[in-house]
């Protein structure tokens, strides 16, 4: 079977247009693969959990101002360990405990600077 002469440019144009549309969609259009969407969803969930539990940790810490002072005397890289050992993040699952402790220690240190 012989293809009409007019069909070849139309086929090449359609294929080229499809490739261009896909490239533009992924580069500038914000399209992502399923794997990237999953990573973005996990990061978003982790951020949401941190934003929710950090104020609860700070509230627990404010019940013990003398421990906050001891935490502030620790080196910054060890303050999250102090938060965990103080029990201020006991209401958080082990999976997220370290992240919440880091955020809580930073919030407490920042609040101490403004006082």
Q: What is the 3-state secondary structure (H, E, C) of 86-109?
A: HCCCCCCCHHHHHHHHHHHHHHHH
Give residue 113's pLDDT: 84
Rounded Cα–Cα distance for residues 109 and 115 (Å): 10
Average pLDDT over residues 85-102: 93
Give residue 115's pLDDT: 66
Where do the domains of the chain lie?
45-115
Give residue 60's pLDDT: 94
- pTM, whole model, 2 decimals? 0.69
Q: Compute the radius of gyration of the chain from its Cα atoms.
A: 27
Rounded Cα–Cα distance for residues 93 and 100 (Å): 10
- The model's pLDDT over 17-70, given as tens digits with 9 standing for 90+, comes to 999 999 999 999 989 999 999 999 999 999 999 999 999 999 999 999 999 999
Give residue 2's pLDDT: 81
For tokens 């949401």, the residue is 48
For tokens 């609040």, the residue is 111
CB atoms within 10 A of CB 57: 25
* Kind plus residue range of the DSSP H or E element containing 4: none
The closest of 64, 72, 66, 70 to 111, measured between CA atoms, is 72
């Amino acid at each position: 079977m012989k293809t009409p002469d007019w069909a070849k440019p139309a086929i090449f144009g359609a294929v080229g247009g499809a490739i261009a549309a896909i490239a533009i969609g992924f580069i500038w259009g914000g399209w992502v693969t399923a794997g990237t969407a999953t990573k973005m969803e996990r990061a978003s969930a982790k951020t949401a959990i941190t934003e929710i539990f950090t104020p609860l940790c700070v509230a627990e810490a404010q019940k013990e101002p003398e421990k906050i002072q001891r935490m502030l005397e620790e080196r910054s890289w060890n303050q999250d360990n102090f938060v965990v050992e103080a029990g201020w993040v006991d209401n958080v699952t082990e999976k997220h405990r370290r992240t919440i402790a880091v955020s809580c220690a930073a919030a407490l240190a920042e609040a101490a600077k403004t006082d």
